Amino acid sequence: MSLFLLLLLLSLLPISLSQPKGTLIDCGATLKSQIDGREWLPDSGFLSGGGTPKNLTIPVLFPILSTVRSFPNHPGRKYCYTVKVYRSAKYMVRTTYFYGGINGRASPPVFDQIVDGTFWSVVNTTEDYANGMSSYYEGVFLAQGKTMSVCIGANTYTDSDPFISALEFVILHDSLYNSTDFKSNGLRLIARHSFGYNGPIIRYPDDQFDRFWEPFGDANRNDSSNANASVSGLWNLPPSKVFETELTTNRFQKIELKWPPWPVQDANYYIALYFADSRERGFNIIINDVPYYKDLNVTEAGLVVYATEWPLGGTTNITLTPSSGSALGPSINAGEAFQVLTLGGRTLTRDVIALERYSWTGITCSGVRVVSLNLTSMGISGSLSPSIANMTALSNIWLGHNSLSGPIPDLSSLKMLETLHLEDNHFTGDIPSSLGNIGSLRELFLQNNNLTGQVPNSLTGKSGLNLRISPGNSFSAPPPS
């Protein structure tokens, strides 16, 4: 029996391992669907802040494009999807947009997208849409809490309603792009190409994480005779299919590429260039006149040359020049370029400051005073700023199920406070006994943190208070009385 089970597991394992893992969301859909054996979920369970599901009336090539969720264009508002993730796992996050005329205009709206509180990019699908194509945006981000959020930020670039077609979260292997410090940076995809290749986008099942490798050919230099290259062990795990083709030249000629193929903004970029060839080739790599790698000797086993933070701006020229002793000209198989984003706006203070730009759907205002702060399960990390004590009109603070850390500040100036929910975070230190001085406080939820010390008598003895402090903290026993 156990042998049988073991065999069964072994035979199932390769299949389940090869499937990208994560969450696929078909925005605006009402039902689950299976596409290429992968499950897409309707978006209603992930959404905070509403929006309207809409069906496109024109035929589309991919089923997930046939529905969208559309949001009212209130500039400054953001509409968020919150997805359960594995804390500390690295995710490829991809958003897909295909307008399909849903709001009755010829051209699509332009708006912002925000990941875990960090500005990710402007979404402008105008040109793709004019060419009858959908647009996608991809990034690599670390799950710092139990949830991650992707928000659509409405603004004044255009006056029609923002929308989204699909949202994907795929777990990446630990070794991918691991020279980047994902605790403070994210990667925003600029270009990912298979060189000398002329076919449809290379993706799952060729790429085990369903990354998209677009064709980048050249009328004179495509070479598809590399089909025998067997590359393995590169940390970024590029699909072997990208090594079957390459751009190449004759002896003594150089290759000049305008790649990434579009101008980029002034910033630092993660660049990885991939090479594999059974023929001996040696060359130098120069990016915009700056030497990037000298005397590279390509091998059959494959190699990648990467830069973690390489400054670029405007157009980029990559030049491969044969080294003096090389019998053959240079070659290149694939490349990836990401803009390095600095994570920011993740702490609560910053989010409150960010109100000026994007109001959280979780904040209820009465006049100009904020009376309720409800950021439950918003993927917020950082510490709780003591300046929250200055928002004296607050009667409800709900910050449960986030990744907030550090001490609980003195909130005794919040005389109107009725409910305080800080459960399921990483708060440390003592419970401030001054909380017991807030007369109106009737709910205090602190379970599942890392709190220590003694539970203040001012709280345990407070009548009418619903106090939850366990499980998940390690308080010391009260002194014997």
Ligand X SMILES: *[C@@H]1O[C@H](CO)[C@@H](O)[C@H](O)[C@H]1NC(C)=O
Region binding ligand X by CB under 6 A among candidate stretches 81-89, 137-145, 310-318, 340-348: 310-318
CA–CA gap between residue 131 and residue 232 (Å, rounded): 37
Region binding ligand X by CB under 6 A among candidate stretches 8-16, 90-98, 350-358, 383-391: 383-391
DSSP 258-291: E-SSS-EEEEEEEEEEEE--SS--EEEEEETTEE
Region binding ligand X by CB under 6 A among candidate stretches 83-91, 94-102, 350-358, 389-397: 389-397
Residue with Cβ nearer ligand X (390 or 460): 390
Region binding ligand X by CB under 6 A among candidate stretches 34-42, 69-77, 216-224, 265-273: 216-224
**What order of strands is seen across the sheet that includes strand 331-332?**
222-223, 246-248, 331-332
Report the residue closest to ligand X, judged by CB. 217
Nearest-5° Cα angle at 46, 44 to 51 = 50
**117 phi and psi, to 5 degrees?**
85, -5
- Out of 198, 392, 440, 470, which residue is the one contacting ligand X (CB under 6 A)? 198
Q: Is 434 in the site for ligand X (CB under 6 A)?
A: no
Q: Is 254 in the site for ligand X (CB under 6 A)?
A: no
Q: How far is the CB of 361 from ligand X (least distance, A)?
A: 9
CA–CA gap between residue 209 and residue 363 (Å, rounded): 36
* DSSP H/E element including 166: strand 166-172
Q: How far is the CB of 69 from ligand X (least distance, A)?
A: 10
Q: Is 156 in the site for ligand X (CB under 6 A)?
A: no
CA–CA gap between residue 218 and residue 265 (Å, rounded): 25
* DSSP H/E element including 30: none
Site string for ligand X, 81-100 (x = CB under 6 A): --------------------
Contacts of 3 (CB under 8 A, 6+ apart): none
CA–CA gap between residue 96 and residue 123 (Å, rounded): 10
What part of residues 325-344 is at the interface with ligand X (CB under 6 A)?
325
Q: 83: which 2 tokens?
A: 């997805």
Residue with Cβ nearer ligand X (6 or 50): 50
Residue with Cβ nearer ligand X (185 or 222): 222
Binding residues vs ligand X (CB under 6 A): 30, 53-55, 110, 124, 126-127, 157, 175, 178-179, 198, 215, 217-219, 222, 225, 228, 235, 282, 288-289, 295, 297, 314-315, 317, 325, 372, 374, 376, 386-387, 389-390, 396, 398, 426, 450
